[in-house]
Structure formats: C-alpha cells, structure tokens
C-alpha cells in the first residue's frame, strides 16, 4: 500500500513473496500483466541488502527504475547506455546502501570486474526476468543468459526467482536446470486472459 498503492495481492503473489522472503528459490510462470515484478520488488524492499534484477530489455529497465524512484524506492540500472563515470556513480550509491534494486543486462555477468563488485555488496536476491531467454528450446534464446548459471556457485545462499510469461514444459525444466535452482517452489498461473477474445474463422478467397 505504501509504495505501490495496492490493498491486496493478485493470485499467487503473496505466496511467491513469502517464499522469496524465506530464501527459497522460486520459478514463476505468469502471463504479461499479472504482476510478476511485484514478486521481486516487494521482497527487495523488505529484505536487507540489494536485489539484482537481470533483464534483457534496456527500455524496460529504465521504465522500471523511473517508476520505482517515483514511488520513493532507491533503484538504479547498469547497462550499455551509461558512460563509465555514470556506472561508477551507480556503484558508489550501491556501496553506500542508497539503492535497494539494481537492474543489469545479462552481458554484465561475463565481466570479472562486475562479479567482483557484486561480491562487495550484500545481495538480498537475484531476479531473472524473461527467464526463457536462457533456454535454447525457447523462442527468444540469448546466449548471454547462459552465464547466469554461475550465480548459484558464487552466491549459494542468495535466493533466485526466475520469471517468465512464455515457457513450454521443456523450457521450464531448462530454466530451472540452467540456473541450478535448489528445490524451487513452482508457480504457474492460468493463461486465460478475460480481457482478450479469440475468433477462428475459415479462410476464404485468400488471393
């Protein structure tokens, strides 16, 4: 209510948030618009330290960070749109515990310097957004996402929440295996969208 203006949770959000707060790894398959971001943003505010959110979409990072700041939540992003001096400014804020949520592109995990920097922070959780990008079975495979399999080895006690709106069963298994999720709690929402309707009609006079 204080930060996001909601008085109640959507379906499954409360249980997901409780599992993340209890330091469980979590896999979330929920359609677009169902409130996936709250499932890691609220625990990030409540837990001690900084949450690291991996996102492949630079525009979405900026939108999320702008929205969080507007709600009074310390947030930042590190991606290719920032200069080296701007990145250093972000790092200083993080070391001074001024930001609760850091958005990064998956390419950052190929950098030893960045990983060394993360080791200097108290990480509260890792959120892997668009997690289907890690799977070669997926429709939007991003090779950079494969580097994320090092997270569990480097931060064994930090919970990971993997979120996606699009995953067939093979992709679900691949996400959990590649991220090395430890006995994850699994949440799958219905993909029925009552605000959308579908009409299937025979094709006539194609040409």
List the strands of the sheet with 185-188, edge to edge. Answer: 75-78, 101-104, 50-54, 123-128, 160-164, 26-29, 185-188
As a whole number, mean pLDDT of residues 101-129 equals 91
Query: Which residue in 104, 2, 107, 114 sits closest to 53, CA to CA?
Result: 104
pLDDT at position 159, please? 96
Q: How confident is the model at residue 153 (pLDDT cuts 50, 70, 90)?
A: very high
Q: In this structure, are strands 75-78 and 26-29 parallel, antiparallel, or unpaired?
A: unpaired
As a whole number, mean pLDDT of residues 88-94 equals 92
Token representation of residue 147: 């580097």
Per DSSP, helices labelled H in 22-168 are: 38-46, 58-70, 84-95, 112-119, 151-154
Token representation of residue 174: 């691949």
3-state secondary structure of 23: coil
* pLDDT tens digits, one per residue of 31-58: 887 889 999 999 999 999 999 999 988 8
User: In angstroms, how far is the first alpha carbon of the chain from the final one?
Assistant: 55
CA 186 – CA 200 distance, rounded (Å): 33
pLDDT at position 34, please? 80
pLDDT at position 193, please? 73
Average pLDDT over the chain, rounded to an integer: 91
């Amino acid at each position: 209510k204080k930060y996001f203006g909601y008085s109640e949770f959507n379906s499954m959000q409360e249980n997901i948030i409780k599992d993340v707060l209890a330091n469980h790894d979590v896999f979330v398959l929920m359609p677009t618009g169902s409130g996936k971001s709250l499932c890691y943003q609220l625990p990030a505010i409540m837990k001690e330290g900084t949450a690291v959110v991996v996102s492949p979409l630079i525009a979405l990072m900026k939108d999320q960070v702008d929205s969080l700041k507007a709600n009074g939540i310390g947030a930042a992003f590190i991606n290719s749109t920032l200069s080296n001096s701007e990145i250093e400014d972000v790092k200083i804020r993080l070391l001074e515990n001024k930001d609760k949520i850091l958005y990064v592109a998956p390419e950052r995990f190929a950098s030893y310097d960045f990983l060394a920097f993360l080791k200097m922070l108290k990480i509260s959780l890792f959120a892997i957004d668009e997690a289907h990008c890690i799977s070669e079975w997926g429709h939007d495979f991003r090779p950079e996402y494969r580097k994320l399999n090092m997270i569990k080895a480097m931060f064994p006690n930090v919970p990971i929440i993997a979120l996606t709106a699009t995953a067939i069963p093979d992709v679900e298994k691949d996400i959990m295996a590649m991220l090395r999720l430890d006995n994850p709690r699994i949440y799958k929402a219905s993909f029925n969208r009552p605000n959308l309707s579908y009409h299937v009609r025979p094709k006539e006079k194609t040409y």
